[in-house]
Amino acid sequence: MGKFKIYPLDLGNITRPCERIGLHYQPGVPFTYPVLAFYITDGEHKIMLDCGGPETVCEAKMPYSQTEEQRITNQLAKLGVSPGEIEMVVITHLHWDHTWNLNLFKNAKFVVQKRELEYSVTPCEVHKLTYCHWWRLYEINFTVIDGDMQLMDGLSVITTPGHTPGSQSVVVETEAGTFVYIADLSNLDDTWEKHPSPGSSDGERQSAYRYGWQSSPERAGNRCGPDPAGSSAEKAPGIWSSACPGQRSG
């Protein structure tokens, strides 16, 4: 079929200092942003893009919250979907707030980049807290890929290292056009344009240029990340960009 509808799931909130999102960006100012995952379907296939964090406070040293309504099972139930119906979970990267609930999807295959899985086993010291749920990952039988790949008609992944060494972005075809889920590659318009994420190499900007987001306004308009200005689960179904709030898929 190949034309998907995209449904954002509101799975909680994280608060952290702005300077941890962008280098020298509004130091000392707290910033709260949503934990998002996405359910997509073409009417035949039922797929998750990431799957959020835990029901309780995580070990990672940042304020994190999730209400009863924000639990992933309840968010899916609003759409009439149960975890057992999901056939695939595409994992952008293996941080705790994107993969904590993998074990709920008993009938799914879990698609991850080889580089990301390798890095999650022995991350550098400063990154260990973001992989604090390593023991949960050991329970998962991953489908490991190495590089760009078309997963099915209308759905593919491209490698976009930067936020993590093995990050991948998900390219989704909809009736409204092509949308790209970039996860944490860029959290805010300001970090995208002016303030690179602290501790990262040039990988994020290289990944951006690879898909043409900065040189192509129409592609920039279909970019989506966790910026609350362009990401509100109240507008589902659809997906929109942190650059162009309110733009939606069909």
The pLDDT tens digits for 154-192 are 999 999 898 899 999 999 999 888 888 888 877 665 555
What integer pLDDT is reported at residue 219 of this predicted model? 34
Structure tokens that stand for 133 in this block: 């749920």
Strand order in the sheet with 223-224: 149-152, 155-159, 168-174, 177-181, 223-224
Share of the chain above pLDDT 70, in %: 68
- In this predicted structure, the answer to whether residue 53 has a pLDDT above a threshold of 80 is yes
Single-letter amino acid code for the residue at 1? M
Cβ 7 vs Cβ 237: under 8 Å = yes
| 153 or 59, higher pLDDT | 153
Identify which of 61-65, 107-111, 200-204 has the greatest average pLDDT: 107-111
- In this predicted structure, the answer to whether residue 129 has a pLDDT above a threshold of 80 is yes
| 169 or 211, higher pLDDT | 169
Cβ 222 vs Cβ 178: under 8 Å = yes
Q: pLDDT (tens digit, 9 = 90+) per residue, 182-208? A: 888 776 655 555 555 554 444 544 554
Maximum CA extent, the chain: 48
Cβ 32 vs Cβ 226: under 8 Å = no
Residue 239: pLDDT band with limits 50, 70, 90: very low
What integer pLDDT is reported at residue 31 of this predicted model? 78
Question: In terms of residues, how long is the chain?
Answer: 250
Task: Tell me if residue 64 falls in helix, strand or coil.
Answer: strand
Among 89, 108, 63, 98, CA closest to 183: 98
Among 122, 102, 100, 118, CA closest to 110: 102
| 245 or 86, higher pLDDT | 86
Among 21, 22, 81, CA closest to 51: 81
What integer pLDDT is reported at residue 104 of this predicted model? 96
Going by their DSSP bridges, the two strands 177-181 and 223-224 should be labelled as parallel
Q: Is the pTM of this model over 0.85?
A: no
What integer pLDDT is reported at residue 29 of this predicted model? 82
